[in-house]
């Protein structure tokens, strides 16, 4: 019987799952992702996680709790830096400890650190460390990593072309609208692709005849170029992606409005959103709305705000 490795469906799951799955499967393990977030998972996350954590971290705890009795290992990497000379939010670095001390009776954790701040090669060491838990053959680990990198590339390219992660990962999809206003959605993947916590935003927009442009549909070089406007280099990767994509969406004349999803209590986002508003909002005069999500966000409240934003776009177009 093969070793089962649980992968909680939260934080950077939608960014790196294809690599993770292929790499671990090639090493002979069985990869078990938790299901899409639901009420039970969110409730468990809110119960076990500390109160003042952001929503995505709470949700992550719920997924870890869901998986803990079903697998031999839980993969909770300590992500410190995934781009040279940049850090990501410190919550990613503290995630293994947060889960370890909040969720009881966990299986063994794979909490390898990924820190590419100084050197991309550090990623190779992290991969070797995880691989050597399941095979002593370094060539097998290298082959598995190569195949996983190819799988990840195919996935990234499909998102760039407008496909949604759910199609690649779960075989489900949203029937997108081919006409109608185009809305840019600037946010993080863990808010954008978690349909439970974002109240099925993409489906709601599609049903209302709205098209959308997402950060994953933009080339990295476009985001980098837009961030050149900043006086200082942005050293948080997630902020850089947010600011670069929002500025692109503001400048692009084909985009009729910008929606930003953020999590209550996210310090990094509050800084980024303030910068975005100062740099672009007044200049481009487009409908712009920030929707803040937390575990108490209700469908009715969310829908009312969304409708108000879409009405604004409709009125602008009518004029
Ligand atoms: S960037 Fe904000 S929402 Fe994301 S993990 Fe950090 S605190 Fe939470």
Q: Whose CA is nearest to atom 6 of ligand 1?
A: 89
The average pLDDT across 306-312 equals: 96
The average pLDDT across 18-23 equals: 98
Contact 192, 200 (CB under 8 A): no
Where residue 96 falls among pLDDT bands split at 50, 70, 90? very high
What are the pLDDT digits (tens) for 211-223? 999 999 999 999 9
Structural domain contains residue 214: yes
Average pLDDT, rounded, for the chain: 95
For residue 191, which atom of ligand 1 is closest to its CA?
A: 3
- For residues 180 and 59, state if they share a domain: no
User: Is 66 exposed, middle or buried (CB count within 10 Å of its CB: 0-12, 13-18, 19+)?
Assistant: buried
The average pLDDT across 218-243 equals: 92
Structural domain contains residue 146: yes
For the cut 80, the answer to whether the pLDDT of residue 281 exceeds it is no
Please tell me the distance between residue 65's alpha carbon and the centre of ligand 1 in angstroms.
20
- For residues 205 and 61, state if they share a domain: no
Mark which of 160, 184, 208 sits at the end of a domain. Answer: 160
Report pLDDT for 297.
Answer: 84
Please tell me the distance between residue 243's alpha carbon and the centre of ligand 1 in angstroms.
15
Which helix (H) or strand (E) is 211 found in, with range?
A: strand 211-213
Mapping DSSP to helix (H, G, I), strand (E, B) and coil, where does residue 164 land? coil
Mark which of 130, 160, 190 sits at the end of a domain. Answer: 160
Structural domain contains residue 298: yes
Please tell me the distance between residue 126's alpha carbon and the centre of ligand 1 in angstroms.
23
Structural domain contains residue 309: yes
Where residue 1 falls among pLDDT bands split at 50, 70, 90? confident
Please tell me the distance between residue 89's alpha carbon and the centre of ligand 1 in angstroms.
6
Q: What percent of the chain has pLDDT over 90?
A: 88
Ligand 1 site residues (CB inside 6 A) read 54, 56-57, 89, 91, 188, 238, 263, 266, 268-269
Contact 91, 57 (CB under 8 A): yes
- For residues 135 and 30, state if they share a domain: yes
Structural domain contains residue 166: no
For residue 238, which atom of ligand 1 is closest to its CA?
A: 1
Q: Which among 60, 93, 269, 295 is the best mutation to test ligand 1's pocket, defined by most ligand atoms within 8 Å of the CB?
A: 269
Mark which of 91, 125, 160 sits at the end of a domain. Answer: 160
Please tell me the distance between residue 147's alpha carbon and the centre of ligand 1 in angstroms.
30
Give the max Cα distance, the chain: 67
Please tell me the distance between residue 76's alpha carbon and the centre of ligand 1 in angstroms.
16
Where residue 319 falls among pLDDT bands split at 50, 70, 90? confident
- For residues 113 and 202, state if they share a domain: no
For the cut 80, the answer to whether the pLDDT of residue 152 exceeds it is yes
Where residue 121 falls among pLDDT bands split at 50, 70, 90? confident
Structural domain contains residue 167: no
Q: What residues are paired with 290 via a beta bridge?
A: 260
Q: What's the CATH code of the domain at 79?
A: 3.40.50.11890
Please tell me the distance between residue 269's alpha carbon and the centre of ligand 1 in angstroms.
7
- For residues 53 and 86, state if they share a domain: yes
Q: What percent of the chain has pLDDT over 70?
A: 100
φ and ψ of 10, to 5 deg: -160, 175
Global confidence as pTM: 0.96
- For residues 262 and 200, state if they share a domain: yes
Structural domain contains residue 168: no
Please tell me the distance between residue 188's alpha carbon and the centre of ligand 1 in angstroms.
9
Q: What is the DSSP string of 248-312?
A: HHHH-TT--EEEEEEETT-HHHHHHHHHHIIIIIHHH---EEEEEE-TT--HHHHHHHHHHHHHH
φ and ψ of 33, to 5 deg: -80, 150
Where residue 235 falls among pLDDT bands split at 50, 70, 90? confident
Report pLDDT for 120.
Answer: 84
Q: What's the CATH code of the domain at 197?
A: 3.40.50.11900
- For residues 155 and 185, state if they share a domain: no
Report pLDDT for 188.
Answer: 97
- For residues 237 and 122, state if they share a domain: no
Who wins on pLDDT, 233 or 202? 202
Tell me how many domains the chain contains.
2
- For residues 255 and 190, state if they share a domain: yes
Report pLDDT for 128.
Answer: 97
Residue span of the structural domain in which 111 resides: 4-160
Structural domain contains residue 108: yes
Residues 6+ apart with CB under 8 A from 112: 77, 78, 126, 129, 130
For the cut 80, the answer to whether the pLDDT of residue 282 exceeds it is no
Q: How far apart are CA 286 and CA 272, in angstroms?
A: 18
- For residues 291 and 202, state if they share a domain: yes
Q: Which among 82, 263, 264, 271 is the best mutation to test ligand 1's pocket, defined by most ligand atoms within 8 Å of the CB?
A: 263
Where residue 14 falls among pLDDT bands split at 50, 70, 90? very high
For residue 262, which atom of ligand 1 is closest to its CA?
A: 3
Report pLDDT for 284.
Answer: 84
Report pLDDT for 109.
Answer: 97
Where residue 105 falls among pLDDT bands split at 50, 70, 90? very high
- For residues 145 and 205, state if they share a domain: no
Report pLDDT for 113.
Answer: 96
Report pLDDT for 283.
Answer: 81
Report pLDDT for 59.
Answer: 97
- For residues 219 and 136, state if they share a domain: no
Report pLDDT for 279.
Answer: 87
């Amino acid at each position: 019987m093969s070793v089962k490795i649980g992968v909680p469906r939260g934080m950077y799951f939608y960014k790196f799952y294809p690599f993770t799955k292929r790499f671990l499967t090639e090493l002979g393990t069985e990869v078990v992702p938790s299901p899409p977030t639901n009420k039970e998972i969110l409730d468990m996350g809110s119960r076990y996680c500390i109160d003042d954590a952001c929503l995505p971290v709470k949700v992550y705890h719920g997924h870890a709790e869901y998986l803990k009795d079903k697998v031999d290992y839980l993969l909770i990497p300590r992500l410190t830096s995934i781009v040279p000379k940049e850090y990501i939010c410190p919550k990613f670095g503290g995630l293994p400890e947060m889960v370890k001390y909040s969720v009881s009776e966990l299986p063994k954790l794979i909490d390898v650190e990924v820190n590419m701040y100084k050197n991309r090669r550090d990623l190779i060491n992290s991969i070797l460390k995880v691989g050597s838990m399941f095979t002593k053959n370094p060539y097998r680990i290298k082959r598995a990593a190569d195949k996983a990198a190819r799988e990840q590339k195919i996935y990234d390219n499909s998102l760039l072309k407008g496909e949604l992660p759910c199609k690649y990962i779960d075989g489900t999809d949203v029937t997108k609208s081919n006409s109608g206003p185009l809305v840019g959605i600037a946010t993080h993947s863990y808010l954008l692709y978690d349909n439970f916590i974002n109240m099925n935003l993409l489906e709601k927009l599609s049903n209302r005849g709205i098209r959308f442009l997402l950060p994953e549909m933009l080339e990295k070089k476009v985001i980098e170029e837009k961030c050149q406007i900043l006086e200082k280099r942005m050293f948080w990767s997630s902020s850089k992606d947010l600011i670069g994509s929002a500025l692109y969406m503001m400048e692009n004349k084909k985009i009729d409005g910008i929606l930003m999803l953020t999590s209550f209590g996210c310090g990094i986002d509050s800084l980024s959103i303030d910068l975005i508003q100062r740099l672009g909002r007044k200049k481009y005069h487009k409908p712009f709305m920030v929707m803040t999500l937390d575990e108490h966000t209700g469908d009715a409240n969310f829908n009312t705000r969304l409708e108000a934003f879409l009405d604004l776009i409709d009125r602008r177009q009518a004029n």
